[in-house]
Structure 1
Amino acid sequence: MKKKILVIGPSWVGDSVMAQPLYRRLHQRHPGLELHVFAPAWTLPLLARMPEVAKSHLNPFGHGALRLMERWKIARLLAREKFDQVIVLPNSLKSALIPLLAGIPLRTGFLGESRYGLLNDARELDEQALPMMVERFCALGEDKNCPVLRPIPHPQLQADGSALQALAAKLGLDLSRPAIAFCPGAEYGPAKRWPARHFAELAKRFDEAGYSVWLFGSPKDKEIGEDIARLAEGKTLNLCGATGLEEAIDLMGWVDLAVCNDSGLMHVAAALDKPIVALYGSSSPDFTPPLSDRAAIVSLNLDCSPCFERVCPYGHTHCLENLQPEMAWQAARQLLAAKPHSAAETE
């Protein structure tokens, strides 16, 4: 009998990328599965690139918004889909309300925020056995008390190469040079952001080596991008806020390498199988690493990190301030030595 499953998706872009191995595993376990995902607007372009997802449903609720009557109305709409099961990936109480109100018979998720009455397939999370977020997501795709099937495959996104020329013309991109992507933002907070002056210094090195440098990010990252562009003295093109996520995916599919903070775009670059220089300060690659075989983790591994704080509790952010551009440059050189230019690959 074919199954119909709803996943309550994560709120962050990076987490949404890391959920794709779960979707793939659900299809393996349930041939003919019809998989739907309930997710916020900014993650919908990712779901559109995942063939495992038959349909996505907009989650209009931001952090902290209860809006119980609106949740009830959406639950009634979802009830019409007659799902067999829901898998709730966020650990909040609110994320488990709609599945209950929709009357979905099997409601799976980890315990958290007193969700005993909302989930009837509640799991205890063993953080030692499942240290990585992608492992925790995949665990919810198995029957209760069954181990995660390993190895867990990496997420995979496909760029639309046919859109490249039109995007380049629209944004004024020079495709005659190979390009490097810089992802200087981090939605979580400044303790995850490498300083603008370091990005700028690295951009100058790439320019001297014959590369264009494109800055990617949301409108919130536009100011950071402007700082980098100014400090780099014209050696970068600031695309922060100039592209939607779908366009960013297509452009990042063409670059030779990405230099990223621990951010959603880092996970997008990994899913595109781009070589990645991943810069870690307050967060940990043990929990949310780039899921790629071609990633270099660059971190000072200070005693005070990872602290997982949005802002450095000591006020100095030495974990990133003291992480010099030379370290990122050497990591990038090693990765690029093993990879030809994208321009050459498309000829």
Structure 2
Amino acid sequence: MAEQAPRLLVVGPSWVGDMVMAQSLFIMLKRRYPGATVGVVAPPWSEPILERMAEVDAVHPLAVGHGEFGWKARRALARQLRGRYDRAIVLPRSWKAALVPFLARIPERVGFLGEQRYGLLTERRALDKTVLDQTVKRFVALGLPEAETASGAFALPEPRLEVDRASQTRLGEQHGLGKRPAIAMMPGAEYGPAKQWPLRYFHALAARLSEDGYAVRVIGGPKDHPAGEAIVEGLAHARNLCGETSLADAVDLLAGSEQAVTNDSGLMHVAAAVGTRVQAIYGSSSPAYTPPLTANAQIHYLALDCSPCFKRVCPLGHTNCLNHLYPEPLYHAVTRRIATDG
């Protein structure tokens, strides 16, 4: 008798970029277990991203705020999931993240050691950060037998989000985006200012690209709207779309852009996952730890002695890792690629 395809539940992360990187795990699971069901416990905001992943069969929203315990919501979701899954893969390392699979009585529950999750997990793995030195490696490793991950040499499928072409057309008409080839810019980074390239540099780059015949689209959430205004100020062919589009819209807008100039942010990973050429800017974070998961990217990183510090705000007060990364190299990187493609 053939073995029944497993029913797998993944407790997903809470950041846009991490959720995109989690698709590498979903792809691996579908390849390894043909016919498997993959469900994801995730914050409601992530549904538009997960809906663009062909490998995800079901999304189970967990509406719990950041730092909130949310006992009632977790218990209610667990009741809904009882009997529906055979194995749970818990990506976050917090105690709370392991609670839903435990309460849902899922027989097998795997995750890394963290916050003393005794009893909540049936398989608690030690995390060797020197071997699993990237976020995506840690995600994929939890879907594999532990013996296969000891060397850190295993396949990491690239995320690939589906694109809605009809939505692209609608967005172009709705926002009057015109016919110029588009360069997307993403000035936001939720983590903090030590990951944010100076707005005056974004503006200078946008000005030069506009003069060269390109349209600049600044993409981000409502919090990024003031930054977008600073970038497009005085530029006829630059549009600030921050706060005017949904996360699903951002997927389609980025897919319709020739390149994306971006901080190390969630939207950087979205751009990579739709195949857009990425110009990725790193300050306090490390391109070795959270790189864009595509070969179609160029990294801009000064690798100063104080980098990466992984701080939200520069502890030395100068943020030279970004302030000394001037617009000129970015301009040449963007235009060189366009000339090559042309």
With the length of structure 1 as denominator, give the TM-score of the two structures: 0.94
1:152 matched to 2:156? The reply is: yes
Q: What is the identity, as a one-letter code, of the residue corresponding to 1:54?
A: D
Q: Distance in 2 between matches of 1:315 and 1:155?
A: 36
* Alpha-carbon displacement from aligned partner over 1:42-82 (angstroms, at most 9, x marks no partner): 21111101110001011211221112233212211121x52
Q: Which residue of 2 aligns with 1:209?
A: 212
Question: Structure 1 residue 149: deviation in Å?
Answer: 6.3
Q: What is the identity, as a one-letter code, of the residue corresponding to 2:327?
A: P
Q: What is the identity, as a one-letter code, of the residue corresponding to 2:170?
A: A
Q: Which residue of 2 aligns with 1:196?
A: 199
Q: What is the identity, as a one-letter code, of the residue corresponding to 2:65?
A: G
Q: How does 1:289-328 map to 2 (within 5 A)?
A: 289-328=291-330
Q: Distance in 2 between matches of 1:155 and 1:281?
A: 24
| Residues 203, 235 of structure 1: 8 Å contact kept | no
Q: Distance in 1 between matches of 2:113 and 2:266?
A: 25
Q: Distance in 2 between matches of 1:59 and 1:193?
A: 30
1:274 matched to 2:276? The reply is: yes
Which secondary structure does the structure 2 equivalent of 1:145 belong to? helix
Q: What is the identity, as a one-letter code, of the residue corresponding to 1:151?
A: A
> Paired residue for 1:107, among 106, 109, 125?
109
> Paired residue for 1:69, among 68, 72, 89?
72
1:228 matched to 2:264? The reply is: no
Which secondary structure does the structure 1 equivalent of 2:146 belong to? coil
Q: What is the identity, as a one-letter code, of the residue corresponding to 1:214?
A: R
* Alpha-carbon displacement from aligned partner over 1:303-335 (angstroms, at most 9, x marks no partner): 111111111112221111221001211221232
Q: Distance in 2 between matches of 1:306 and 1:104?
A: 39
Aligned length: 337
1:264 matched to 2:266? The reply is: yes
Q: Distance in 2 between matches of 1:167 and 1:328?
A: 27
* Alpha-carbon displacement from aligned partner over 1:136-158 (angstroms, at most 9, x marks no partner): 11100111322266332211112
| Residues 181, 258 of structure 2: 8 Å contact kept | yes
> Paired residue for 1:180, among 179, 183, 205?
183
1:170 matched to 2:174? The reply is: yes
Which secondary structure does the structure 2 equivalent of 1:207 belong to? helix
Structure 2, gaps ≥5 residues long: none
Structure 1, gaps ≥5 residues long: 341-347
Which secondary structure does the structure 1 equivalent of 2:40 belong to? strand
Q: Which residue of 1 aligns with 2:40?
A: 37
Q: How does 1:2-41 map to 2 (within 5 A)?
A: 2-41=5-44
Question: Structure 1 residue 235: deviation in Å?
Answer: 4.3
Q: Distance in 2 between matches of 1:283 and 1:277?
A: 15
Q: Distance in 2 between matches of 1:149 and 1:62?
A: 36
Question: Structure 1 residue 234: deviation in Å?
Answer: 4.0
Q: Distance in 2 between matches of 1:165 and 1:25?
A: 32
Q: Distance in 1 between matches of 2:236 and 2:201?
A: 15
Q: How does 1:246-265 map to 2 (within 5 A)?
A: 246-265=248-267
Q: Which residue of 2 aligns with 1:98?
A: 100
Runs of 4+ in 1 over 4 A off after TM superposition: none
Q: Distance in 1 between matches of 2:36 and 2:155?
A: 22
* Alpha-carbon displacement from aligned partner over 1:266-287 (angstroms, at most 9, x marks no partner): 0001011111110000000000
Q: Distance in 2 between matches of 1:49 and 1:217?
A: 18
Q: Distance in 2 between matches of 1:39 and 1:70?
A: 12
Q: Distance in 2 between matches of 1:228 and 1:117?
A: 51
| Residues 258, 269 of structure 1: 8 Å contact kept | yes
Q: What is the identity, as a one-letter code, of the residue corresponding to 2:177?
A: L
Which secondary structure does the structure 2 equivalent of 1:326 belong to? helix
Q: Which residue of 2 aligns with 1:337?
A: 339
Q: Which residue of 2 aligns with 1:286?
A: 288
Q: CA RMSD in A?
A: 1.3
Q: Which residue of 1 aligns with 2:243?
A: 241
Q: What is the identity, as a one-letter code, of the residue corresponding to 2:215?
A: S
Q: Distance in 2 between matches of 1:224 and 1:212?
A: 17
Which secondary structure does the structure 2 equivalent of 1:146 belong to? helix
Identify if the C-alpha distance between structure 1 residues 2 and 151 changes in structure 2 by more than 3 Å, giving closer, same or farther.
closer
Which secondary structure does the structure 1 equivalent of 2:147 belong to? coil
Which secondary structure does the structure 1 equivalent of 2:162 belong to? coil
